[in-house]
């Protein structure tokens, strides 16, 4: 079965947000058969120029049916009657309606996000909240799914959202092959924060980054300073000194931040019990994880799960 995807662009659209289209193209290649048929759309049709001058050819809005409709981001936000009418009609007819970055503004203007949990790029969060108070905005997410509505932070997060769509349609094995073909290390979960611990811990040397990468890849295990130092090819004493100089944190504190970030994603997704998540992320027991969450967020894991409206499961 070929799924039809309509991707809406407008003058000055962001090329980075547009890159999500490549995910569906790569899915066709990985499946070795046409799984997706992609149509680029604009209000008037014809050539549309991107933010850096790249021009794409588009089809005008019509009554054609789509399985999935995605509104791209970037450019000047002009809420025209034609755009509003098209999204209001087509948006309610598709199986899945998505938007990246500022694309959410167009969906909200068409009345499609009232009462929905959505996200957008952090830079536009205040404007979005002010203009569309009926939507429930959570700007601290890479992407967010509420029923048929998919919204992402845009930029590279649009790729993660598209990969999640492919996984929903065609399974995790094919989605992993697509990520591999796109030379991505993995598909980031939607619950990840737009600001990551790895980014906040950015250091000047590749040695410290290698130690952080080792830690992130082994969060479920017991990790000590000696192992981190070995990954960085430094002595434990030298590693601790260099690490603190470059990150402003002790190795133990940085490791806790990485564990908290990973655990928070799993808690918000709601597929596993709090106890299992504590073990998977290296906290070993839920009380130790609870204390870490209260230090970081001022609230326990259970409260974060309730806020995400996902029931706790028993493993």
Kind plus residue range of the DSSP H or E element containing 6? strand 3-8
Residue 41, pLDDT score = 96
**Domain 196-315 part of CATH 3.90.79.10:** no
Residue 187, pLDDT score = 59
What confidence tens digit (pLDDT) does each residue in 166-178 have? 999 999 889 989 9
In Å, how far from its chain's centre is CA 239?
A: 33
DSSP state of 145: E
Note the CATH number of domain 3-181: 3.40.50.880
In this prediction, the residues of the chain whose per-residue pLDDT falls under 50 are: 310-315
Q: Assign residue 5 a region: left if phi > 0, alpha if psi is -120 to 50, beta otherwise?
A: beta
Residue 229, pLDDT score = 92
Cβ neighbors of 62 (< 8 A, separation 6 or more) are none
The model scores a pTM over 0.85: no
Q: Where are the domains of the chain?
A: 3-181, 196-315
Query: 25 near 18, Cβ under 8 Å?
Result: no
Residue 129, pLDDT score = 95
The residues facing 117 across adjacent strands are 136
Residue 314, pLDDT score = 38
The DSSP result for 105-170, as a single string, is HHHHHTT--TT-EE---GGGHHHHHHH-TTSEE--S-SEEEETTEEEE-STTHHHHHHHHHHHHHH
């Amino acid at each position: 079965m070929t799924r039809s995807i309509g991707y809406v662009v407008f003058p000055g659209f962001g090329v980075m947000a547009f890159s999500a289209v490549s995910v569906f193209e790569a899915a066709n290649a990985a499946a070795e058969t046409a799984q997706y048929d992609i149509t680029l759309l604009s209000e008037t049709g014809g050539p549309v120029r991107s933010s850096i001058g790249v021009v794409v050819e588009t089809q005008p809005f019509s009554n054609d049916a789509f399985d999935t409709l995605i509104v791209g981001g970037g450019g000047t936000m002009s809420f025209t009657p034609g755009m509003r009418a098209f999204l209001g009609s087509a948006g309610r007819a598709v199986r899945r309606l998505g938007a990246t970055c500022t694309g959410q503004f167009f969906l909200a203007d068409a009345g499609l996000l009232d009462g929905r949990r959505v996200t957008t790029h952090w830079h536009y969060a205040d404007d979005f909240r002010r203009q569309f108070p009926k939507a429930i905005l959570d700007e601290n997410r890479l992407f967010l799914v509420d029923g048929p509505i998919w919204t992402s932070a845009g930029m590279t997060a649009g790729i993660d959202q598209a990969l999640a769509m492919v996984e929903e349609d065609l399974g995790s094995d094919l989605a992993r092959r697509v990520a591999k073909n796109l030379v991505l290390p993995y598909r980031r979960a939607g619950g990840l924060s737009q600001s990551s611990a790895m980014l906040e811990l950015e250091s000047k040397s590749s040695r410290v980054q290698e130690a952080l990468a080792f830690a992130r890849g082994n969060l479920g295990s017991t990790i000590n300073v000696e192992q981190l130092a070995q990954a960085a090819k430094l002595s434990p004493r030298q590693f601790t000194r260099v690490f603190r100089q470059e990150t402003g944190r002790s190795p133990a504190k940085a490791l806790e931040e990485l564990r908290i970030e990973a655990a928070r994603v799993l808690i918000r997704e709601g597929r596993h019990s709090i106890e299992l998540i504590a073990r998977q992320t290296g906290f070993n027991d839920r009380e130790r994880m609870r204390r870490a969450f209260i230090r970081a967020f001022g609230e326990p894991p259970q409260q974060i799960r309730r806020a995400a409206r996902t029931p706790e499961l028993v493993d």
